């Protein structure tokens, strides 16, 4: 079952209210920092009412196992799908700064299974409500930006800070090396394509980046029936809001420059507002 097939089916339900899954993950840097604790499910059925697939918009970086574990694994994605016990497609949303770091008991396959079972059970606690309309439309927005990493004062200052940190913590060395390579580029062109699929009153936004909480929040605040989906149509790295740019290490090696993500998501929010 692929998304195109699912969209061709009759849409009959959305999960309302949203399912609270806060106990299974949190902001990855501190449990006191904000994150989206909800999960969103849309169900597609055929004309007879038979369930074809449920689509879960899951807002947590889906890893329990440590990077040192080199076994082939689908980790939390595969675990939830197995425990859900019916066709389930998982679309990851604004999970760039959200993880199971503070909520998992350990990093093991047993913990993957435990969390997956708990999350699956929680997902089934919501109440189904019909969505109206079945008109399908697809809109593509393109954002291009050319800039010069070697002249980026923000990156140059970050490089100096990392050079000092490496003296205290060698684990920062790989990030410093990637940032140094980025600074060697005289010109970098960002080409970001966002796709908005509208199906009745439901909107789905697909983006080629790893999205942080604050940016996803801007989209969800202008439309309640929306799925925000990252890691699609390519991958440009992290999309980080300007206020958090220096706080999230991956932003230093993202192809989305400082300040650009705010402009892109503001434009997307304005587009959502105009949707009927």
pTM score above 0.85: yes
Structure tokens, 239:
């999309």
pLDDT in the model for residue 13? 52
pLDDT in the model for residue 14? 56
pLDDT in the model for residue 43? 87
C-alpha span between 81 and 78 (Å, rounded): 5
pLDDT in the model for residue 253? 86
Cβ–Cβ < 8 Å for 96, 238: yes
Per-residue pLDDT of the chain (276 residues; tens, 9 = 90+): 444 444 444 555 555 447 888 899 999 999 999 999 999 998 888 778 788 889 999 999 999 999 888 889 999 999 999 999 899 999 999 999 999 999 999 999 999 999 999 999 999 887 777 788 778 899 999 999 998 999 888 889 889 999 999 999 988 899 999 999 989 988 989 999 999 999 888 899 999 999 999 999 999 999 888 999 999 989 999 999 999 987 888 888 899 998 999 999 999 999 999 986
pLDDT in the model for residue 113? 97
C-alpha span between 47 and 186 (Å, rounded): 56
DSSP E strand boundaries for 37-176: 38-45, 51-58, 88-92, 98-99, 128-129, 136-147
Task: Lay out the sheet containing 202-206: strands in order across.
Answer: 136-147, 188-199, 202-206, 226-229
Domain-by-domain residue ranges, the chain?
Answer: 3-129, 136-148+187-274
Residue 251, helix vs strand vs coil: helix
């Amino acid at each position: 079952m692929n998304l195109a097939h699912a969209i061709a089916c009759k849409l009959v339900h959305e999960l309302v209210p949203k399912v609270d899954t806060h106990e299974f993950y949190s902001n990855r840097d501190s449990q006191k920092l904000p994150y989206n604790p909800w999960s969103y499910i849309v169900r597609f059925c055929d004309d007879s009412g038979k369930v074809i697939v449920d689509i879960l918009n899951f807002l947590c970086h889906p890893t329990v196992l440590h990077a040192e574990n080199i076994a082939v694994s689908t980790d939390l994605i595969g675990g939830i799908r197995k425990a859900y016990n019916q066709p389930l497609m998982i679309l990851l949303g604004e999970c760039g700064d959200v993880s199971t770091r503070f909520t998992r008991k350990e990093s093991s396959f047993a913990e993957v299974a435990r969390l997956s079972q708990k999350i699956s059970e929680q997902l089934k606690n919501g109440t189904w409500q019909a969505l109206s309309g079945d008109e399908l439309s697809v809109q593509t927005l393109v954002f291009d930006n050319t800039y010069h990493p070697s002249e980026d004062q923000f990156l140059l200052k970050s490089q100096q800070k990392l050079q000092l940190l490496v003296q205290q913590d060698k684990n920062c060395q790989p990030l410093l090396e990637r940032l140094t390579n980025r600074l060697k580029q005289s010109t970098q062109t960002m080409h970001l394509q966002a796709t908005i699929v509208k199906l009745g009153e439901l909107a789905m936004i697909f983006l080629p980046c790893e999205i942080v909480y604050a940016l996803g929040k801007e989209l969800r605040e202008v439309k309640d029936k929306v799925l925000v989906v990252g890691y699609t149509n390519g991958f440009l790295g992290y999309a980080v809001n300007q206020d958090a740019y220096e706080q999230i290490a991956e932003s230093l090696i993202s192809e989305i420059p400082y300040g650009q993500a705010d402009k892109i998501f503001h434009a997307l929010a304005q587009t959502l507002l105009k949707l009927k």
